[in-house]
Structure 1
Amino acid sequence: MSGAFDPQKFKSAQRQGWDSVAEGWKKWWKIIEESGQVVSDRLIELARIQQGNHVLDVATGTGEPAVTAARKVGSGGKVTAIDLSPGMLAIARERAKEIGLANIIEFEEGDAESFHLPSQRFNAIVSRFGLMFMPDLPNALKTMREALVPDGRIAAAVWSSPQKVPSFLLPLEIVMKETGTPPPPPGTPGPFNLADTNLLRERFEQAGFQDIRIESNTMNFRLPSAEEYVDFVRSTAAPLTAMMAGLPPARQEEIWNKVVGASRKYSDPATGSVNFTNEVIYVSAKR
């Protein structure tokens, strides 16, 4: 069946997509981490990471929460961070070196579904906004569980439903409408694929985890202006630029200008800065 979902093609497209926007993530890293640090901090708490621990960060991207975990485990600990994008990993390695953590964090290219994880190696596993993109999450979670020491813990963050993540939904809705892009089939890996907490719990139960806990909280994403917000989206959101790739430049600019206009409803009238409040779902469990 020609329209059947091909996980290998999906992963290849993901790798190419993340590589294509790696420089954008480098450009906006400070802004991203000003918002994302609260998520990394909570993951370290939920995973109960301590000094001297060996930690695995799955889908580390530009290096979080690996960096936060490395600061926690200290020189007596170790963080192994994996990602399928060599472009993103190059930035993560550069960051770790700049802040003096290169001797604690080891970055490796791979994905959790196929990467060889040693049995009972890690005290804790963390993942910030990575699980939603895994085509075979149940198998990946089983592999991760086997890599934990007895009573080791896992903690992950995923996005809530689209309506509760306006910084993602706003440009996505406009670009899909303007380009006539249909929504992906249900169950296709993507940013909101684990917003259903019942499904999320089920996936962890299927993998054999115990003491599964789910909570939600918010993170604020702020940029100085609507124009800079759209510059950020254009630099970091590979799927959106791919949707518009075949359009004339003038038409692309027209669509981006619509995103600028729509984002102004999140602006502070006094400063012009835009502030989005996004909901994050956290899941934690024990081997």
Structure 2
Amino acid sequence: METQLEQIRNQQKDSWDKFSPGWKKWDDLMMDFLKPMGDEIIKKIAPSGSDLVLDIAAGTGEPGLTIASMIPDGKVIITDLSDKMLEIALENAASRGIQNLEIKACDVTELPFPDNSFDKISCRFGFMFFPDMQIAANEMVRVLKPGGKIATSVWMGPEHNFWVTASMSTINSNMQLPPPPAGSPGMFRCAEKGLIASIFKNAGLKNIIETEVSGKLNVGTADTYWNMMTEVAAPFVAALSKADDDMKAKIKSEILDLVNQKYPDGTIVIPSSAFVISGEK
């Protein structure tokens, strides 16, 4: 692997390991928020019978855990860069009595599986962070059986996802942070319509479908929103780390005001939008 890509991978592994306690704390809220996208991925790949399914960048376990519960005669292998996130996934599997599941810490650009191994592959919100998205797609296709299906989700643009921009736009307006290099990993890296479909096509997939899916982040209060974002959102926390205490207090106050102004009734339920893209080998 090229040095730059390896550096990105290692940084991401460290970051997800670091934020794993926050994801464990907020798991119920986040999994409820991301469920519509996971459900659409499951709908597109249609796991059944004795399928062997690979769930990539699974984090705390979804949608792999749900898939495993649907195919008791099959099996799911979930992968992630972060060992600590996968430990939470195992805890979640145990609490739900799911036994037809294995975990494997690995990099998507170097999947440790033979060619033509899996019937189905899922990947919810991983592509935006992969160091090289085309290599990742090629690897997924390599380990997928002929006739097998892949589905992934990526966030649409900032105008569709206030739950991100409420924080990041406020930070940027206060701190004038330099924009990341074009094409570098980030939340909206895959927001361009047709981008992932093109990557899938280049990897050799056919019957590619791109669907828009909406979700809702039900945080209830602006304070809950702030607490959750500061414990699970690595880019948000990384940006805040460059601010002194006075600036952090100013940013927090402005974010809370912004969210409360948008939802004056005091019930914070923030809509979101994503693409789900599927294809067949």
TM-score bracket, shorter-length normalisation: over 0.9
Deviates more, 1:276-285 or 1:173-182: 173-182
Q: Could you say which residue in structure 2 is the equivalent of 1:279? A: 273
Deviates more, 1:194-203 or 1:55-64: 194-203
Q: Could you say which residue in structure 1 is the equivalent of 2:81? A: 84
1:126-205 equivalences in 2 (<5 Å)? 126-205=122-201
Q: Could you say which residue in structure 2 is the equivalent of 1:211? A: 207
Distance 1:30 1:46 in 2: 24
**Deviations, residues 132-172 of structure 1 (Å, cap 9, x unaligned):** 11121111111111211110000111100111111111101
Q: Which amino acid aligns with 2:174?
A: E
Distance 2:186 2:244 in 1: 27
Distance 1:117 1:265 in 2: 50
Structure 1 runs, 4 residues or longer, greater than 4 Å off: none
Distance 1:116 1:267 in 2: 47
Q: How far apart are 1:197 and its partner, in Å?
A: 2.0
**Deviations, residues 61-107 of structure 1 (Å, cap 9, x unaligned):** 11111111111111x11100100012211111111111111x21111
For the 8 Å contact 1:24–1:235, the answer to whether it is kept is: yes
Structure 2 alignment gaps of length 5 or more:
none
Q: Could you say which residue in structure 2 is the equivalent of 1:95? A: 92
Q: How far apart are 1:5 and its partner, in Å?
A: 9.1
Distance 1:12 1:172 in 2: 24
**Deviations, residues 148-205 of structure 1 (Å, cap 9, x unaligned):** 1110000111100111111111101111222221111211121111111222221111
1:40 to 31, 38, 41: 38
Taking structure 1 as the reference length, the TM-score comes to 0.93
Q: Which amino acid aligns with 2:213?
A: N
For the 8 Å contact 1:222–1:276, the answer to whether it is kept is: yes
Q: How far apart are 1:120 and its partner, in Å?
A: 1.1
Distance 2:84 2:242 in 1: 24
Q: Could you say which residue in structure 2 is the equivalent of 1:13? A: 11
1:24 to 22, 37, 52: 22
Distance 2:257 2:231 in 1: 18
Q: Which amino acid aligns with 2:122?
A: V
Distance 1:64 1:42 in 2: 12
Q: How far apart are 1:248 and its partner, in Å?
A: 2.8
Structure 1 alignment gaps of length 5 or more:
none
For the 8 Å contact 2:78–2:102, the answer to whether it is kept is: yes
SS in 2 for 1:231: helix
For the 8 Å contact 2:37–2:213, the answer to whether it is kept is: no
Q: Could you say which residue in structure 2 is the equivalent of 1:235? A: 231
In angstroms, what is the RMSD of aligned CA positions?
1.6
Distance 2:146 2:39 in 1: 23
Task: Name the % identity.
Answer: 28
Distance 1:124 1:223 in 2: 33
For the 8 Å contact 1:219–1:277, the answer to whether it is kept is: yes
Q: Could you say which residue in structure 2 is the equivalent of 1:64? A: 62
SS in 2 for 1:222: strand
Q: Which amino acid aligns with 2:257?
A: G
For the 8 Å contact 2:194–2:210, the answer to whether it is kept is: no
Distance 1:5 1:186 in 2: 18
Q: Which amino acid aligns with 1:278?
A: S
Q: Which amino acid aligns with 2:7?
A: K
Q: Which amino acid aligns with 1:91?
A: I
Number of aligned residue pairs: give it: 280
Q: Which amino acid aligns with 1:188?
A: S
